Amino acid sequence: MELVKIIGIAFISVILIIILKQYKPEFAIYVSIISGILILSLCFTQLEVVVNLLNSIYEKTGINGEFLKILLKITGIAFLTEFGVSICKDSGEAAIASKVDIAGKITIIAISIPIISSLLETVMKILP
């Protein structure tokens, strides 16, 4: 049921954008941003269920949840970066889109430093 609503919203906003593009292209970008936000917020409810399930599984198994936190952060950053990149590409600004993409990658690497260091430690332990 949710998917049908999302597809409906997408079609309506596409038609609105086509109408607006002839007269005022600036408003077309606004409509595409708003429809993107609307569709994302609709699918956030299912996403929340998945994240809560992951959290509960992690608590049960007792593996330190710190890695899961970092993983979730990375997914969130990738999520937002992709949102920004696609909006910039839509409006024809590929240069800005690639800058946002690079910035997202850098933040992801910066956040995943603890994982890399702990991986190195475990490898060092295994090696004689």
Partner 1 sequence: MDINLLFKIAAIGILVAVLHQVLVRAGREDQAMMTTLAGLVIVLTMVIKEISTLFDTVRTIFNL
Residues that bind partner 1 (CB under 8 A): 9, 12-13, 16, 19-20, 23-24, 26-28, 30-31, 33-35, 37-38, 40-41, 44, 47-48, 51, 69, 72-73, 75-77, 79-80, 83
Nearer to partner 1, 9 or 101 (CB): 9
**Least separation in angstroms between CB 94 and partner 1:** 21
- Judged by DSSP in three states, 41 sits in helix
**Least separation in angstroms between CB 92 and partner 1:** 18
Q: Do residues 16 and 9 make contact, with C-beta atoms less than 8 angstroms apart?
A: no
Distances (CA, A) of 23 to 18, 30, 90: 10, 14, 18
**Least separation in angstroms between CB 16 and partner 1:** 4
Q: In whole angstroms, give the CA distance from residue 94 to residue 44.
A: 28
